[in-house]
Amino acid sequence: MQLVTWNTQWCRGMDGRVDVARIVRHALSLGDVDVLCLQEIAVDFPRLPGAPGDQEAEVRALLPAGWQVFFGAAVDAWTGAGRQRFGNLIATRLPVLQLQHHLLPYPFDPQVRSSMPRLCSVLTVDHATLGPVRVMATHLEYYSHAQRMAQARRLRALHLQACAHAAQPAAGEDDGTPFQAQVHTPHAVLCGDFNLQAHDPEYAALAAPLSSEEAAGWAAAGAVPLHDAWALRHPGTPQPPTFCLYERRYAKAPIACDFVWVSDSLQGRVREVRIDGQTQASDHQPVLLSLG
């Protein structure tokens, strides 16, 4: 299974041009891609540079036949410009089993003037070899450390919760109602723009092993519930930067803040993690994960 994750900056490249087709075309050229996770997809934001329109619809129209598109709006507001949405998009050519959107914590932080709600979109797909896999796509807060830490902890908790359901799934009802049996799996890929670096405490929170108290109830998640896929494949080698390679607006030097994490159940399946450091179709670089 191959997955690409990319913060698209509403499909705006370093040339200042908003071009959804360029993003889709380049993402699919990175490999034999099964799942595409795009962050910062905008729907009707005329005051953003480049005046993006309905990018969800554009992505849907650009993908090959057989692909399905799922958009989760972290921001969904009615303004003078009409309804405006901004968030995560997951597209896949694999069979889809389940979709969930989880609003992440958004605690009040008096230290920041600008922030926005954040979301984790979870699409469970069915892979011919791996079986059901939860694809968790997200984009964490940039300005607020407090919000970002709360969001990182919530992501880990969502994964632990899913692993517990997979270990002891409810029988469900065989009557076609919403209480019918649901699909649960310990296999998960968590990806996106985390707006943190590997030395930050929020990264440590995501990578934390189970505590002794947690181990009794969450053993199905593994001793370390989430693993940085780059670190698994390239131990001891820092991940190449994914942000600020071609401009220094937000950082004095390039940084790595776009990551792919895998569940304990998939750590032995990571075959490749690759960062495309050449494209300038966004202010972030895309990341490719291959699972065998």
d(CA 141, CA 18): 23
Reply yes or no on whether the pLDDT at 211 is more than 90.
no
Q: Give the pLDDT of residue 49.
A: 97
The confidence band for 222, taking pLDDT boundaries of 50, 70 and 90, is: confident
Q: pLDDT (tens digit, 9 = 90+) per residue, 280-290?
A: 999 999 999 99
Could you give the 3-state DSSP secondary structure of residue 55?
helix
Angle at 27 between CA 50 and CA 16, to 5 degrees: 20
Whole-model pTM: value is: 0.96
d(CA 33, CA 214): 36
Q: pLDDT (tens digit, 9 = 90+) per residue, 154-177?
A: 999 999 999 999 988 888 777 888
Q: Which amino acid is at 213?
A: E
Size of the chain, expressed as the number of residues it contains: 292
The token duo for 48 is 């953003």
- Indicate the domain borders of the chain: 2-171+181-291
Reply yes or no on whether the pLDDT at 217 is more than 80.
no
What sections of 63-211 are H helices per DSSP? 145-167, 201-207
Q: pLDDT (tens digit, 9 = 90+) per residue, 81-126?
A: 999 999 999 999 999 999 999 999 999 999 998 999 999 999 999 9
Q: pLDDT (tens digit, 9 = 90+) per residue, 38-56?
A: 999 999 999 999 999 999 9
Give me the percent of the chain exceeding a pLDDT of 70. 99
Q: Which amino acid is at 41?
A: I
CATH superfamily of 2-171+181-291: Endonuclease/exonuclease/phosphatase (3.60.10.10)
Q: pLDDT (tens digit, 9 = 90+) per residue, 122-147?
A: 999 999 999 999 999 999 999 999 99
